[in-house]
A and B are shown apart, each in its own frame.
Chain A
């Protein structure tokens, strides 16, 4: 157990809808990163939040947005869902935003867009 929890575990949405995924980081961790993992692929970095501010972003369109709260939990929001958004969404928390900091993953949210 990593102490990183994500909800919900599974979700089915219709194309065009909006979705919010949630992540509670490990106690003491102030940095949360979100990743998208398509079937058979490695996780792809979406963005990172550090102390409630976006600290970096991967190659994802603006309809992918996020928030980090004062308790360092985080949300990932995806608007105007597309079929290709179907994937496992992973949250990782780390003690700090540094480049040599261990990142611990949650179990993920399996999103299916139909």
Chain B
């Protein structure tokens, strides 16, 4: 069935390096995407979103890129810090009810 998936289940980076987390989606009708960060024992925390009429959006130290041609989404984290260690989910909103479809997540580990 249709789903949002992630290319890499784990990612380990050195503190200070840039991190790139990738996500593929399968429904070309999806019009809104969100990246969430989830720390152990906590609920998902909103990081950044992007609508389908955009291909790039920047926040504080984070950038989301959307490639609708290949149905690919990425989250770039600049100067990764130990506090960035968490599981990152991309979520796709394509339901008429506005429900989010999540992938399994990528675990980011930052080495000091």
Residues of A within 8 A of B (CB): 2, 4, 6, 31, 33, 35, 40-45, 48, 55-58, 90, 92, 94, 96-108, 110
Contact = CB atoms under 8 A, between A and B. Distances in A.
A105 B43 contact: yes
Nearest to B42: A107
A102 B103 CA distance: 17
A44 B96 contact: no
A33 B99 contact: yes
Contact of A42 (B43, B45, B46, B89): B89
7 contacts: A2-B43, A43-B89, A96-B98, A97-B97, A101-B98, A104-B46, A106-B43
B46 A58 contact: no
Contacts of B49: 102
B105 A42 contact: yes
B94 A103 contact: no
Identify the interface centre among B43, B91, B101: most chain A CB within 10 Å of its CB. B43
Contacts of A43: 44, 89, 100, 102
A103 B34 contact: yes
Interface string B62-83: 0000000000000000000000
B95 A105 contact: no
B99 A58 contact: yes
Nearest to B4: A42
Contacts of A55: 97-98
Given A90-B44, A102-B49, A108-B42, A44 B98 contact: no
Interface in B25-61: 31-32, 34, 36, 41-46, 49, 51
